[in-house]
Amino acid sequence: MNTKDANLELIKPKFGISFELKHFVDGNQNEKATFWHFHPELELVYVKGGRGVRHVGHHMSHYKNGDLVLIGSNLPHSGFTDRNTGHESEVVIQFKEDFLGSEFFKAPPFKPIENLFLQSLDGISFHGNTKKEIGDRMEQLSQLSPYESTMALIGILYDLTGSTEKTTLRGSGFTVQWTKQDNERAALVFNHVRKQYKEETSLEEIARLTNMTVPSFCRYFKKLTSKTYTNFVNEYRILKACKLLEVAPMTIGEIAFQVGFNNIAHFNKHFLKTTNTTPSVYRKSFLEMVQV
């Protein structure tokens, strides 16, 4: 695997505009950001519709009916969409904290935005009306002139500061002063899990992947994520299972095997631990919600 594509993402705004705007529609995918990566720029992402997995720093969770996420500077994350997400479109805005000058957001009228930037170091997910209204405005940005889109982005950021419809993802700890080697190792492990989570990978295999001994890898990974490698993989499997419970006409046993569990009791135990409910109750609750 070429770790350069999975580590530092280099972002270069188009001429005449001070931030990067990407709008993916008509089945086009944000393939470049699929894997684990980071960048000095903050990132505001709107996913219209669909269901997927958030992986931001320490945090992993499952979103549905789209998502709106603000990711802080140098906070590693994986892409929010893929070919199986089922979303309609995705808008990604990337900008540096000083994209309007080093003093702009320190001025009293814009101080709330500077505070929002600080909060984003944990990652923030917005929901409810905020998600829909801000998402609609983000989708219009590509139709505006550079001046109009810049002013519109300021308005979007300011309105986000006043929203109460938000959840802090608490992904910090990953906005680290990592060495290049640290980030390459993290990229190798997380990308391996994303691609191979259905298969059993021994600690010996994953330690070899990172050029570490098993004890060293276990200490390193626990320090990095506050989880054991096994728990991390099982949590990722459960998030995938949640999506299947919502959309796939499969039995719970079939889903358990589909996401990598070879024991239904083991699956039920980890599902309860991760979601605080059982697979059958989760599916029933989701069906009741969408039928309202």
Q: For residue 126, how many other CB atoms are within 10 A of its CB?
A: 23
Tokens matching residue 173: 């700890």
Q: What's the confidence (pLDDT) of residue 30? A: 60
**pLDDT bracket for residue 5 (50, 70, 90):** very low
- In terms of Cβ atoms closer than 10 Å to its own Cβ (0-12, 13-18, 19+), residue 267 is buried
Q: What's the confidence (pLDDT) of residue 291? A: 54
Percent of the chain clearing pLDDT 70 (strictly above): 84
Region 248-268 average pLDDT: 92
Q: For residue 119, how many other CB atoms are within 10 A of its CB?
A: 15
Report the alpha-carbon distance of residue 238 to residue 145 in Å, rounded.
44
Contact 150, 19 (CB under 8 A): yes
Tokens matching residue 163: 């929203």
Q: For residue 248, how many other CB atoms are within 10 A of its CB?
A: 13
In one letter, which amino acid is 69?
V
Domains and their CATH numbers in the chain: 3-168 (2.60.120.280), 197-291 (1.10.10.60)
Look up tokens 């393939």; give the residue. Answer: 31
Mean pLDDT of the chain: 83
Q: For residue 178, how many other CB atoms are within 10 A of its CB?
A: 17
Evaluate if residue 1 carries a pLDDT over 50.
Answer: no
Tokens matching residue 227: 């989880």
- pLDDT (tens digit, 9 = 90+) per residue, 30-47? 655 556 677 888 999 999
Evaluate if residue 271 carries a pLDDT over 80.
Answer: yes
- pLDDT (tens digit, 9 = 90+) per residue, 188-204? 888 888 888 999 889 99
**pLDDT bracket for residue 235 (50, 70, 90):** confident
Region 91-110 average pLDDT: 91
Look up tokens 């802090």; give the residue. Answer: 168
| 41-55, 69-83, 88-102: least confident range | 69-83
What is the SS3 string spanning 213-256?
CHHHHHHHHHHHHCCCHHHHHHHHHHHHHHHHHHHCCCCHHHHH
Residues in the chain: 292
Q: Write the CA distances from 34 to 28, 45, 79, 194, 284, integer angstroms.
A: 13, 13, 4, 10, 31
Report the alpha-carbon distance of residue 158 to residue 27 in Å, rounded.
31
Task: Residue 238: name the closest of 260, 219, 217, 214 by CA.
Answer: 260
More confident residue, 182 or 174: 182
Q: What's the confidence (pLDDT) of residue 35? A: 66
pTM of the model as a whole: 0.69
**pLDDT bracket for residue 2 (50, 70, 90):** very low
Q: Write the CA distances from 141 to 14, 21, 129, 229, integer angstroms.
A: 14, 8, 19, 41
